[in-house]
Amino acid sequence: MTDTATETTQTEARHEIDLPLPLLREGKVRSMYDLKDKVLMVASDRISAFDCVLPDPIPHKGAVLTQLSAFWFERTGDIVQNHRIASAPGAIAHAAPELADTRDVWAWRGMLVQKADPFPVECVVRGFISGSAWKEYREHGTLAGEPLAQGLRESDELPEPIFSPATKSEEGHDENIGFSRMCDIVGPDTAARLRSLSLALYQFGRDTLRERGIILADTKYEFGRARDGRIILIDEVMTPDSSRFWPADEYAPGRGQPSLDKQPVRDYLEAMVERGGWDKTPPAPALAPEVVQATADRYREAYRRIVGHDLYE
């Protein structure tokens, strides 16, 4: 379904989101605006690589993240209820009429959600060993201190998906914690519930993406308590920013995998580092226009592949 906002919002990439509304919080990529019992979550087109936010926005990236989350929220409601109230621009304007005059800024990249009390744990599920889990395993044979099967290579599929919670740190690097630490933080009943919900969501996402030629190597969920006390799924869900998406046709364990979404950016920056043009500390350099374009195309193509139609349709 096309929407009247399409023409004006499709083209403009935004690095900064600046709405005349009270800000609840601003993250590396998203701004959360406080609408009393609701929140407007707006994804910018900022992209980060090697832990640095890059100066160039990637056209359509914010809309891809938000609308992909909407796709998963629609399909996982039988596993767990979630915070989404509206994600189509017309439905948002209808549910929160005070947003009507800023529609150009938030259309497609914004989602209206119920305000929740977030649990202070990131519910990570890993189906494949990569990133910080690979680093710990290579050094100690463990994950968050628990022993793992022996003889795994980098990027191998795990014998079964592992729930691997982490705490948020303000500095950006999350700390993997064991399940018993998580029980101390949220209580054992809630911890067990969040673990089983996370594993069910991962299995659904992994199987859905596998049919579309994408490996969901790992992903992170966040849950919160709604006003009425229910546990609901919040934040973003199974997006490229909260997950590792690998192209299945290029998968080969024993090394790191190319990223379905960010690989042109990584390749460009790695080449620059190799030439001595950057040292992976902020500020990050500008990207070549063709790299921005190639990356935008990849995000949009990932959306089309997963959802089955183009963004804004």
Ligand X SMILES: Nc1ncnc2c1ncn2[C@@H]1O[C@H](COP(=O)(O)OP(=O)(O)OP(=O)(O)O)[C@@H](O)[C@H]1O
Give least dist CB 113 to ligand X, A.
4
Q: Does 165 bind ligand X (CB under 6 A)?
A: no
With H, G, I as helix, E, B as strand and everything else as coil, classify residue 212.
coil
- Strands (E) located in 27-86: 30-35, 38-43, 48-49, 52-53, 84-86
Work out whether 29 is an interface residue with ligand X (CB under 6 A). Answer: yes
Rounded distance, CA 92 to CA 9, Å?
Answer: 15
Least Å from the CB of residue 265 to ligand X? 17
Asked if residue 240 lies in contact with residue 49, where contact means CB atoms within 8 angstroms, the answer is no
Give min distance, CB of 193 to ligand X, in A: 18
Q: β-strands 142-143, 146-147: how paired? A: antiparallel
Tell me, by CB under 6 A, how many residues bind ligand X. 17
In angstroms, the CA 143 to CA 161 distance is: 12
Q: Which one of residues 61, 115, 262, 300 is an interface residue with ligand X (CB under 6 A)?
A: 115
**Contact residue for ligand X among 57, 224, 240, 247 (CB under 6 A):** 224
What is the closest distance, in whole angstroms, from the C-beta atom of residue 27 to ligand X in the complex? Answer: 2
Q: To the nearest whole angstrom, how small is the minimum distance from the Cβ of residue 309 to ligand X?
A: 26
Peptide bond preceding 120 in cis form (omega within 30 of 0): no
Distance of CA 256 to the CA centre of its chain: 19
Return the residue of 63, 116, 296, 311 that touches ligand X, per CB under 6 A.
116
Residue list 189-208, contact with ligand X (CB under 6 A)? none
Q: Roughly how many angstroms between the first and final C-alpha of the chain, as a whole number? A: 5
Of 5, 14, 30, 62, the residue at the interface with ligand X (CB under 6 A) is 30
Q: Which of 17, 39, 121, 217 binds ligand X (CB under 6 A)?
A: 39
Instruction: Determine how many CB atoms are found less than 10 A away from the CB of residue 6.
Output: 15
Report which DSSP code applies to 250. G
Q: Is 77 in the site for ligand X (CB under 6 A)?
A: no
- Residues 246, 127: contact at Cβ < 8 Å? no
Is 220 one of the binding residues for ligand X (CB under 6 A)?
no
Report if residue 27 touches ligand X, rule: CB under 6 A: yes
Give the span between the Cα atoms of 276 and 209, in whole angstroms: 38
Q: Does 65 bind ligand X (CB under 6 A)?
A: no
Decide if residue 235 touches ligand X (CB under 6 A): yes
CB of 119 to ligand X, least distance (A): 9
32 forms part of the interface with ligand X (CB under 6 A): yes
Q: Is 113 in the site for ligand X (CB under 6 A)?
A: yes
The Cα 296–Cα 198 span in angstroms is 29
Which amino acid, 288? A
Under the binding rule (CB under 6 A), the answer on residue 222 touching ligand X is yes
Q: What span, in angstroms and rounded, lies between the C-alpha atoms of 113 and 78?
A: 18
129/166 with CB nearer ligand X? 166
Binding stretches for ligand X (CB under 6 A): 25, 27-30, 32, 39, 83, 113-116, 118, 222, 224, 234-235
